[in-house]
Structure formats: structure tokens, C-alpha cells
Amino acid sequence: MGGNHTISKILSANDTGETGGHQAGILVPKEEKILSYFPTLNTNDKNPRVHLVFTDDHGTKWEFAFIYYNNKFFGGTRNEFRLTRMTPFFRAHNLCQKDELLLQKTPEGVRSVTYRRSKDTGLNENGVLKLSSGWKVINF
């Protein structure tokens, strides 16, 4: 593989807190190429998590948490991966809906975070709102 592993997420209003609702972080899809960016969690534990340190373009370090909310298997209802503790980063960089979050990891495991401002209206060629998970693999 040799190169950096980069994934991105087009942020929703819910991700950035613009809707005023409360959620536990950004939903991470159960797609192998996306999940392979993150460390493997012990699914035998209830709600396993790992804290990951990312460095932004200014050299500031940010600690995000990657969590598998698996309480469905422990009497609860949730069965999803989330990336949490991101609100301070979003606020510091004034990120909003449709901005793109980029997470990069070098082969040595060094993680960085950056973003791109949106130029997208969110509408397709027919003027209809485009819906998707917003995640994609850029380099693998």
C-alpha cells in the first residue's frame, strides 16, 4: 500500500450541531474500507472505544473517540460506530453543513485532520436534495 490512508465525510447539519439536536458524534458506516481506517475494537466489550490523537494544519492536537455502540447485544438498542468528541474542532474551524472533513493516517499511524469548505449547493442537476452517508475513501 505504501501511501497515506485518507477518508472524508461531507458534514451534515446534524454532525455540526446546526440542527440544535444532540447526538453522540458522527455515524461511521459499517463499510470495511471506512472502518479499516480506525483501530479494531473488541466487540465482546460493551461500547468499546479508543481515543485517537489528530493534528490539524496549524499543529494543534485534537483527541477524538472512535466508539462502537454495541449495547444492542447487551440488552440495549444501539449497534453503530461513531466518531465523537469533535465539537471543539468543528467550532474552532467554524465548520458547517456541507464542509468536508478529511482524516488522514500515514503508514506509521500518524493521524491528521483537515477540512475543505463547501461549494456544493446540496442539490442535484434537477434541483433535488442529494442524500448519502457522505463518507468516502480517498486513498487506501
pLDDT digits (tens, 9 = 90+) for 47-73: 999 999 999 999 999 999 999 999 888
> Kindly report the CA angle at 20 between 57 and 76, in degrees rounded to 5?
95
Are residues 127 and 116 in contact, defined by beta-carbon separation less than 8 angstroms? no
d(CA 5, CA 125): 31
Local confidence pLDDT in tens for the 140 residues of the chain = 457 899 999 999 888 877 776 666 899 999 999 999 999 999 899 999 999 999 999 999 999 999 999 988 888 888 999 999 999 999 999 999 999 999 999 999 999 999 999 875 555 555 555 555 567 777 65
- Name the nearest CA neighbour of 108 among 33, 5, 32, 36: 5
DSSP states of 70-130: -GGGGTSS--EEEEES-HHHHHHTT--TT-EEEEEE-TT--EEEEEE-----SB-TTSPBP
For residue 6, list its beta bridge partners. Answer: 104, 139
> Kindly report the CA angle at 33 between 134 and 117, in degrees rounded to 5?
30
Q: What pTM value is reported for the model?
A: 0.80
What is the span of the domain harbouring residue 98? 5-139
Report how many domains make up the chain: 1
Give the CATH number, domain containing residue 105.
Answer: 2.40.330.10
